[in-house]
Structure 1
Amino acid sequence: MLDTDFFHRWMTVSAALVDREADRLTDLDAAIGDADHGSNMRRGFAAVTKVLAEEGPGTPGAVLTLAGRQLISTVGGASGPLYGTLLRRTGKALGDAPAVSERELAGALAEGVAAVAQLGGAKAGDKTMLDALLPAVEALGTSFDAAREAADTGAVATVPMLARKGRASYLGERSVGHQDPGATSAALLITALAETAGGAA
């Protein structure tokens, strides 16, 4: 079972990964976006770790709900609402349980990803964070490592895609040949989840 501490550590590991990869995310975003994805995500997850330490939410669902709310209020552009919705909806789906199973997390995360798709109006193949999240959620039923591999593969697979949603879609054919920054940061979130699970084993 995955307890509150597990989810707190997931967010802490996510923040560390985002901080480490922020310059790369910004470089990716410079090619097809506003060149601020890395700095925005770094600021948002730093705020998440701070608020979690201060408020100490008592359930897995509460951890993710608070983290999502913080991302919405601190991350600029579309990423704040999208990542905030992902975590808040996942947290809501987990409810008030003091601990959840891997299967319950997979189901809740699937609800969170569906909420992101609804909010952004995107689907698989549109060159967005969903291209990492959708395969990751599907693979999560197998293992955390399988989810990480699926997310990484999904992010890399955005390189030849034509962007159909988001800032990159304004570039048309010029968006082809660049890895999507949102899919890349989404893969970091799943990598952090797998690393947290590995450390808990």
Structure 2
Amino acid sequence: MGRRHSLQSDRKLLLGLIETCREVIARHADHLCELDRAIGDGDHGTNMRRGFDAVFLERESLCGLPLALALERIGMTLVMNIGGASGPLYGTLLIEMGRRFGARESRPTFDTILSEAIDAVARRGRSQEGDKTLLDVLYPVQTEVARKSALIRIADTATESAALTAGMKAMRGRASFLGDRSIGHVDPGASSCALLASAICHHLMEYQPA
């Protein structure tokens, strides 16, 4: 009975997170495109919305999977539907998290799983913190997770970190071709990452198990 209750709770949580992420991206898609028009192709919001719409369409089958497999499947769906540079980066994050959650030989803590997945994103994008990418949100968020900070602090850190990318010079992607002209603009990938991280934190704060 206890295990069945746990599965129902896990399913409710994952479904809620999928719906939350889709909603926040849809609500801010136009703004993300506006940010991207300043230093990129102008389609980041459109691409992100397409990816999370695709995940939403698969929500019932995803919620029937163990968490590790669900994360991997979501990651692959994002890779195939977001496109551009962001698809592989978001996809890598979730795929690597899923693989580490599913590892049987060890029981890593969540902050370790997140740290290793973020490092995989950095390798995939051949970038590092300070290059004006979503890593400039992911690494500060991971630091707060490792500190066991309150969810509201993690959410605030994500938002603050995205804003700080306005003062950075882009070193990767299409924005890097602008050189110093990329300074003064918030990175759209960092912005979408902050929106998602903050929305997830707020959902977890309000979540009540079934």
| TM-score (structure 1 length as normaliser) | 0.91
The one of 89, 112, 121 equivalent to 1:107 is 112
The gaps in structure 2 that reach 5 residues or longer are 1-5
Moved more, 169-178 or 9-18: 9-18
Aligned to 1:72: 79
Aligned to 1:118: 123
Q: Which amino acid aligns with 1:144?
A: L
1:60 partnered with 2:67: yes
Alignment of 1:7-46 (within 5 A): 7-46=14-53
CA contact (8 A) 2:155 2:202 kept: no
Residues 106, 189 of structure 1: CA spacing in aligned structure 2 closer, same or farther, 3 A cutoff? farther
Aligned to 2:3: none
SS at match of 2:166: coil
Alignment of 1:167-186 (within 5 A): 167-186=174-193
Shift of 1:105: 2.9
The gaps in structure 1 that reach 5 residues or longer are none
Identity, % of aligned positions: 39
Stretches of 4+ moved more than 4 A in 1?
none
Shift of 1:44: 0.2
Q: Which amino acid aligns with 1:166?
A: G
CA distance in 1, matches of 2:11, 2:114: 16
The one of 90, 93, 96 equivalent to 1:89 is 96
SS at match of 2:109: helix
User: Would you say how many aligned residue pairs link Structure 1 and Structure 2?
Assistant: 197
CA distance in 1, matches of 2:109, 2:31: 33
Shift of 1:146: 1.8
SS at match of 1:157: helix
CA contact (8 A) 2:35 2:42 kept: yes
SS at match of 1:159: helix
Residues 107, 12 of structure 1: CA spacing in aligned structure 2 closer, same or farther, 3 A cutoff? farther
Aligned to 1:130: 135
CA contact (8 A) 2:79 2:91 kept: yes
CA distance in 2, matches of 1:41, 1:169: 21
CA contact (8 A) 1:6 1:196 kept: no
Shift of 1:165: 0.9
Deviations 1:23-70 (A, max 9, x none): 000000000000000000000000011112244342222221111010
Taking only aligned residues, the RMSD between alpha carbons, in angstroms, comes to: 2.0
CA distance in 2, matches of 1:171, 1:138: 30
Shift of 1:178: 0.1
Q: Which amino acid aligns with 1:65?
A: E
1:139 partnered with 2:118: no
